[in-house]
Structure 1
Amino acid sequence: MPETPPPSPAQRILPSVILETERLRLRAFVEEDVDDVFLIYTDPALQRWVPLPEPGVPYTRENAERWCGEVAPALRANGDGQHWAAVEKDTGRLAGSIGLLRTDWPAMRTELGYSVSPWGRGRGFATEATVAVSRWAIDQGFERIELKAATGNAGSRRVAEKAGFVLEGIERNAMPLHEGRTDLAAYSLVPSDLAR
């Protein structure tokens, strides 16, 4: 009789938490966010660097509905990471999205990604949320937080640098866009960076 394999370890998932910063409340996506999510992800400035839902395919309201109701919650449930709606405390308006993704549990490594609404850009929201989420992830025991930005996306690269991430190099021809491809600037944050 064949030997029965040992049970696999339980799937690891991040705790479901709400994070607060000086101006933002980072919480789960809800159905009421659909209109704002659609507005954010159809913005041409964002679509230039973040080709969602996939390169060459326009973002639809159905994509926004699926994101809020199915995709974002599933990313946490399947152990991939966690995504938050970044809501401005003063107005209750959705300022953007931030999340951890492509989590490698054995290596305790994850990647951080964000997007900001057209009205919220240039106000420091992305940096504020990036600091909060990356430090929270390190408090959860992560040894490496990665952040990648198109080399031409100066705003996103500034966020990484202001949040204390260290530029490691350039991944050449690494990401497809709606039109063409781009190199990615690869940044990281490790616990020892916080001591500086």
Structure 2
Amino acid sequence: MTTLRSAPMMPAVILETERLRLRALLERDVDDLYASCVDPELQRWIPQPGPGLPYTRATAEHFCLREAPAIRTGGDGQHWAVVDRASGRFSGSVALLRTQWTSGVTEIGYWISPWGRGRGLATEAVVAVSRWALGQGFQRVELKAAVDNTGSCRVAEAAGFVREGTDRNAMPLHEGRTDLASFGLVPDDLR
């Protein structure tokens, strides 16, 4: 007799910080998600839905209603909407991805909407989610950022991640490829 074992799954949690509420993506986020993801600066570094492919409102709707929930239920990680607590407006995304349950390792990714940039929201969200992950027993949170994306690299450092090296030619962009700065955060970094 074969026993089927389901993949581990992160708990569905809402995290709150001084200025942010991190919660699941909802249907009401579709328009702000779309407006964020067609922004040229975001598309420069995160070629969604794929290199050379246009981002559409249907892409945003599919991501909110299907892909983001499947990240959690499939055991890959968890995706949060970054919501400004003062205004209630969707202001970005933060996620744990590529979770390796047996080794206790996960990767964090993030971006902030054009209307939320320059206020430290990315750092606040990354600190909240990475500390939550370590509190759940993960032994390492990884972070990758395009080496020329200085804002994203500054977020990693401000959130306490240690730069560990460069993954050469590691990610496709809409045009060409980029090297990725590789960062890590382990429990000892917080002591």
User: TM class by shorter-chain length?
Assistant: over 0.9
* Alignment of 1:22 onto 2:18: yes
The letter for the 1-side match of 2:24 is A
Equivalent residue runs for 1:76-91 within 5 Å: 76-91=72-87
Rg: which structure is higher?
Answer: 1
* Alignment of 1:56 onto 2:75: no
- Report the Cα distance in structure 1 between the residues aligned to 2:48 and 2:7, rounded to whole angstroms: 28
* Equivalent position of 1:162 in the other structure: 158
* Equivalent position of 2:136 in the other structure: 140
* Equivalent position of 2:7 in the other structure: 11
Question: Paired residue for 1:71, among 67, 74, 81?
Answer: 67
Q: CA RMSD in A?
A: 0.8
- Report the Cα distance in structure 2 between the residues aligned to 1:130 and 1:52, rounded to whole angstroms: 20
> Structure 1: which 5+ runs fail to align?
none
Count of residues paired in the alignment: 191
- Report the Cα distance in structure 2 between the residues aligned to 1:163 and 1:71, rounded to whole angstroms: 27
* Equivalent position of 2:122 in the other structure: 126
- Moved segments of 4+, more than 4 Å: none
1:18-54 deviations in Å (ceiling 9; x for gaps) = 0000000000111000000001110000000000000
State the Cα distance separating 1:9 from its structure 2 match. 3.6
The letter for the 2-side match of 1:156 is S
SS in 1 for 2:166: strand
The letter for the 2-side match of 1:57 is L
- Report the Cα distance in structure 1 between the residues aligned to 2:24 and 2:6, rounded to whole angstroms: 23
- Report the Cα distance in structure 2 between the residues aligned to 1:10 and 1:191, rounded to whole angstroms: 28
- Report the Cα distance in structure 1 between the residues aligned to 2:54 and 2:111, rounded to whole angstroms: 17
SS in 1 for 2:76: coil
* Equivalent position of 1:44 in the other structure: 40
SS in 2 for 1:100: strand
1:38-92 deviations in Å (ceiling 9; x for gaps) = 0111000000000000001011101100011111001000000000001000000
Question: Paired residue for 2:148, among 152, 161, 166?
Answer: 152
TM normalised by structure 2 equals 0.98
State the Cα distance separating 1:10 from its structure 2 match. 3.4
